[in-house]
Amino acid sequence: MSVLLETSAGDIVIDLLVDYSPKLCENFLKLCKIKYYNFSPVHSVQKNFSFQTGDPLGGSQESDGGSSIWGILDGPVKRTFVADLHPKLKHAERGTVSMATVASQRDPDERLAGSQFLITLGDELDYLDGKAAIFGKVVEGFDALEKINEAFCDEKGRPLVDIRIKHTVVLDDPYDDPTGLIEPPESPLPSKAQLATVRIGDDEKIEDEEDPEVVEKRRREREARAQALTLEMVGDLPFAEVKPPENILFVCKLNPVTADDDLEMIFSRFGKILSCEIIRDKRTGDSLQYAFIEFEEQSSCEQAYFKMQDVLIDDKRIHVDFSQSVSKLSDSWRDSTNAKRRRGGGGFGGVSGLEKKRQYKVGDYSGGRRDNYGMVHDEDELRRRHEREKKYDSGKRERSRSRSPQRHRYESSRSHKARNRGRDYRERDNRDRYRDDDHYQPSRR
């Protein structure tokens, strides 16, 4: 009982140990028979130890780990089965074939197998004993094992150049086919999910030495794409693939005295000009000695490019080139986007809803008071606050003018007593002064 595996590294013939591991051999044979392993990648290589395959989507995030033949025929419930671990079978020789297993959640002593299997690349690998269920051994194709062992792999052990099972041939099958098994008449084509797992195809030619200029060009293109994507994320570009318009000419090395009208008149002989603008300093208004000229037709822009190079204008030889600026496109895109938001009430809470919040950023806003740390209030809030303040001030003034009757009576009594006390003091002084005077007469109250 044997199976032939046709791989991209070479053919491998496996003899099955049906007397020791009957269920494992049946599962492997039937999966080979329905071409389940076709296009399965070698997704893990550990040099001088083992390599693992048997998962049609090995190394992909969409992979479910593979399924046994009974899971394919009867449903996901039977995707795995209990593996037979024969005590006499050991991973002692190179080329030992065993099923990859995991511990059962119901019984830690049981090991469950599915479709993935591994082939050892070294001798005396007792670490795998009790963890992988042996069901066969390689009898031909050790050169293919050596190629797989020497493959360049990433940090996870996956080969950089794909190594895949192309085809499986069952040389001898002693088991009856289970109910529902249908053998395909020919090898099926790989699915889209399988094609998505391809890194570098085994049939692709890799040149060891490339032209340095080509490598540098590819690096710059990759860097430019990354920078454009960054600018798109921060909002400086409408989209990363934006290209500058082909009808705008960039003119530099101008004389500072050159005016917009003069420049437009000179370049208008090549075609109709939509706009001609010399860029100037915002504060001083002085020319920065470069300009952008927008033509109606692209052909007019090309003629001006070829004819006006190093032409003398106002005693200065100018330099012309096609514009690489996309600011105008970005402004147009941004204006149209904002207009759509205003019409549809979109944006963060609606553009109209942002008008009041926008006043917090306006420096010359005069609608609100500048006290209370310069905070801005709307008119209704200011009016209500002024009414409250006015009401409070008027009430305060009224309270300061009026006095309670009880307090008035108390103050009147105090003043009356003080007057009486002063009169008593004056009478006592008069008695002391005129004690011997016969004309002294006490006053009557």
User: CA-to-CA distance for 148 and 267, rounded, in angstroms?
Assistant: 67
**For position 13, what pLDDT does the model report?**
95
DSSP letters for 52-72: EE--TTTT-TT------HHHH
**For position 200, what pLDDT does the model report?**
82
User: CA-to-CA distance for 442 and 434, rounded, in angstroms?
Assistant: 11
- Residue 163 CB-half CA count within 13 A: 26
User: CA-to-CA distance for 175 and 127, rounded, in angstroms?
Assistant: 31
User: CA-to-CA distance for 80 and 115, rounded, in angstroms?
Assistant: 8
- Residue 75 CB-half CA count within 13 A: 1
State which residues of the chain have pLDDT below 70: 204-210, 236-237, 239, 327-383, 385-386, 388-445
The pTM assigned to this predicted structure is: 0.48
Token reading at 444 = 């009557």
Determine phi and psi for 114, rounding to 5 degrees: -130, -100
Token reading at 355 = 């008008």
Nearest alpha carbon to residue 71 among 114, 25, 36: 114
